[in-house]
A = this chain, B = another copy of it.
Amino acid sequence: MSQSIRIAIAGYGNLGRGVEAAIAKNSDMLLTGIYTRRPPSQLKPRQEASPVYSMEALNGDVDKIDVLILCGGSKEDLPKQGPELAALFNTVDSFDTHARIPEYFAAVDGPARANRKTALISAGWDPGMFSINRVYGEALLPDGATYTFWGKGLSQGHSDAIRRIPGVAGGVQYTVPAQEALDRVRDGSRPILTTRQKHTRDCFVVLEADANPEAVKRAIVTMPHYFDEYDTTVAFITEEELRREHNAMPHGGVVIRSGNTTAENAQVVEYSLKLSSNPEFTSSILVAYARAVHRMQQAGQYGAKTVFDVAPGLLSAKSPEQLRAEDL
């Protein structure tokens, strides 16, 4: 066994906690530190032994860290942290604002390349594993159509949108793929589906004491971008029910490529996820990509990378010989 890969965590929310758990599942890795903007003494890590430091200490620990996993958010944290930290560390992040990926890639690529570091951006399951399956699907069946369904799962963005409505004390939103649409896609018939046909949105809402249920419901189902293009259900529940029944973060989804190799022969490829914890699965992906980033940097492959640039074997703790003998 060669030396452990030394991994550090920047930011300790749900994702950081998940990364801490995932590192413990990989025997070739060592957690060297959790770096936080909070006072370190106030942070209670999952494992008591996990060392916690102030984010300001990060720059001084450059020599102690092989890969830094950035666990901040895509909106506020990563656009600033990503380029800065890629100048000092090999990094992995889960930047997930799809439309801004080209811009973010360029911002990270420059400093990483200039400093001979490797920075893997936008890892996770979408962007991430779903993206990989879209690319494999297109390449293997060029005459075809790709379908992505999300859920059943808790959508953080839509839940936040509900909670911003006046009169709402709390709430969650589940995205649910429509079974009929899924069945038609799996048939190999390549249907054209509207947004409304693909998913429904189920909301569970706790009202404030003086709120008007009808007004809240109307505000939800007509909300542009978030709900107006979907069939949306709204159920009112108690604070206690919300805590008891809706405290988990399940998610998942399906990527399907349906295509024809000849006029006679339809072929259907499907990749699906059923996740009890969305953030923990994302974290586990970030940790596997940290192994790949470490190897790519050692092989002189510097700059920003995405999951499209990473050969599957680089994610595995096994050697290429072992993989060929055991997994091929």
Contact = CB atoms under 8 A, between A and B. Distances in A.
B270 A277 contact: no
Interface stretch (A70-78, A203-211, A301-309): A301-309
A195 to B, nearest CB: 19
Contact of A316 (B135, B186, B269, B271): B135
A317 interface: yes
A105 B320 CA distance: 11
In the complex, the count of this chain's copies comes to 2
Nearest to A26: B142
A218 interface: no
Interface string A302-327: 00001111111101111011011101
Given A129-B136, A284-B140, A328 B312 contact: no
A211 to B, nearest CB: 34
Contact of A131 (B26, B288, B318, B328): B328
Contacts of A55: none
A143 B21 CA distance: 11
A138 B284 CA distance: 11
Interface stretch (A79-87, A157-165, A226-234, A260-268): A260-268
A122 interface: yes
Contacts of A140: 129, 281, 284-285, 288, 315
B312 A283 contact: no
Interface in A42-63: none
A179 interface: no
Of A132, A186, A318, most buried by chain B (CB within 10 Å of CB) is A132
Contact of A267 (B143, B271, B275, B317): B275
B274 A271 contact: no
A22 interface: yes
A267 B277 CA distance: 7
A102 B306 contact: no
Interface in A107-152: 122, 127, 129, 131-132, 134-136, 138-143
Interface in A193-218: none
A271 B269 CA distance: 8
B265 A273 contact: no
Contacts of A274: 186, 188, 267-268, 270
B138 A21 contact: no
A136 B128 CA distance: 12
A37 interface: no
B308 A280 contact: no
Contacts of A98: 328
A299 to B, nearest CB: 11
A324 B306 contact: yes
A272 interface: yes
Nearest to A322: B102
A100 to B, nearest CB: 11
B261 A143 contact: no
A34 B268 CA distance: 28
